Homo-oligomer: A and B are copies of this chain.
Amino acid sequence: MRAKLSDVAAAAGVSTSTVSLVLNDRARRIPAATREKVRRAAAEVGYSPNALARSLRTRRTRTVGLLSDRIATTPYAGRLLSGAQDVALSNDHLVVLVNTDGDREIEVDAVATLASHQVDAMIYAAMWHRLVPVPEGLPPGTVFLDCRPEGGGFPAVVPDDERGGRAATEVLLASGHRRIAYIDADEEDLPIASGLRLAGYRAALLEAGITPDPALHVRAEVNAAGGRSALGRLIALPPRQRPTGIFCFNDRIASGVYSAAHRAGLEIPRDLSVVGYDDQQLIAAELDPPLTTVALPHEAMGRWATEVALGIREIEKDGEIHRMECPVVLRSSVGPPLTSITPASDGPTATPSGRTGATTEAVPGWQPGSEEGTP
Interface residues of A (CB under 8 A from B): 48-53, 55-56, 61, 63, 70-75, 77-79, 81-82, 85-86, 89, 94-99, 106, 110, 112-118, 223-225, 228, 252, 255-256, 259, 262-263, 265, 267, 280, 282-283, 286-288, 299, 352-359
With both beta carbons as reference points, the residue of chain B lying nearest to A299 in the complex is identified as B72
Among the listed B94, B115, B252, which residue makes an inter-chain contact with A113, where contact means beta carbons less than 8 Å apart? B94
Q: Which residues does chain B contribute within 8 Å of A72, judged by CB atoms?
A: 78-79, 81-82, 299
CA–CA, A61 and B113, complex, Å: 12
Quote the shortest CB–CB distance from A125 to chain B (angstroms): 13
A196 CA to B185 CA in the complex, in Å? 41
Instruction: Tell me if A97 and B98 are in contact (CB < 8 A).
Output: no
Shortest beta-carbon distance from A67 to chain B in Å: 11
Q: What residues on B are CB-neighbors of A353 within 8 Å?
A: 356-358
- Nearest 9 interchain pairs by C-beta: A353-B357, A72-B82, A224-B286, A75-B75, A72-B78, A355-B355, A51-B117, A51-B116, A85-B99
Q: Chain B residue with minimal CB distance to A97?
A: B97
Contact B61 A71 (CB under 8 A): no
Cα-based distance from A72 to B48 in the complex (angstroms): 30
| A-B residue pairs in contact (CB < 8 Å), sample of 15 | A52-B56, A63-B96, A63-B117, A71-B81, A75-B75, A78-B78, A81-B99, A85-B98, A96-B96, A96-B97, A224-B288, A252-B282, A262-B263, A353-B358, A355-B358
